[in-house]
Amino acid sequence: MHIETLKPNKQDQRALLDWYQREKRPLPWRLSADAYRIWISEVMLQQTTVAAVLPYYERFLARFPNLGSLACASEPDVFQVWAGLGYYSRARNLLKSAKLLHEGGFPQSYVQLIEYPGFGPYTARAVSSLAFGESVGVLDCNVIRVLCRHYGLNVSWWSATVRNHLQRIADAWVMG
């Protein structure tokens, strides 16, 4: 089996969607298709757990309920609300991007979002997919693990070539 040729079948796609509908947790960022709220959750969820993020997410949105309020904030204000989540470059990039997004509006595609500070491939794809319905797959360690188990792959997923192949597979899973 060559990783370059792997594709999902309709039955597997349906099974995954059915599993998600049964097992998904009720999380506050899933209650809305608001790009701002999805973006904040995705950035906060990097390198931590859902349980750890929940109180920070609620507190952050209470202080900065929308893109405009975050765009007008000072870095010390953002850091104060962010305190305890670590990786302060994420908070700094949130503020930088908020100012830019507030000026020009929230782009609806992965290729546009990835141009903003702090929007890496995963975050740009997650926001464009969840908020705007763009058919792009996301690739993080959990998705890599699922794909490798599903296809019985034992690959060097950290290699750029392999990650590119895995990204194409993830994209194929959402293309229908």
Distance of CA 1 to CAs 68, 129, 130, 174, Å? 50, 29, 32, 21
- Are 6 and 169 spatial neighbours (Cβ–Cβ below 8 Å)? yes
**For residues 176 and 128, what is the distance between their CA atoms, to the nearest angstrom?**
17
Digit-coded pLDDT (tens) for 122-171: 999 999 999 999 999 999 988 999 999 999 888 888 888 889 999 999 99
pLDDT given for residue 32 in this prediction = 87
**For residues 58 and 52, what is the distance between their CA atoms, to the nearest angstrom?**
11
Distance of CA 34 to CAs 41, 70, 117, Å? 11, 15, 19
- Are 114 and 138 spatial neighbours (Cβ–Cβ below 8 Å)? no
Annotated catalytic residue within 42, 103, 115, 134: 42
Residue 88: other Cβ atoms inside 10 A: 13
User: Which pLDDT band holds residue 175 (cuts at 50, 70, 90)?
Assistant: confident
Digit-coded pLDDT (tens) for 19-72: 989 999 999 999 889 999 999 999 999 988 999 999 999 999 999 999 999 999
pLDDT given for residue 9 in this prediction = 86
Q: Is 115 a catalytic residue?
A: no
Q: Where are the alpha helices (DSSP H) in 85-159?
A: 88-104, 110-113, 121-132, 141-151
**For residues 42 and 53, what is the distance between their CA atoms, to the nearest angstrom?**
10
Digit-coded pLDDT (tens) for 74-94: 999 999 999 999 889 999 999
pLDDT given for residue 1 in this prediction = 60
- Averaged over 112-118, what is the pLDDT? 96
pLDDT given for residue 44 in this prediction = 96
pLDDT given for residue 161 in this prediction = 87
- Are 150 and 130 spatial neighbours (Cβ–Cβ below 8 Å)? no
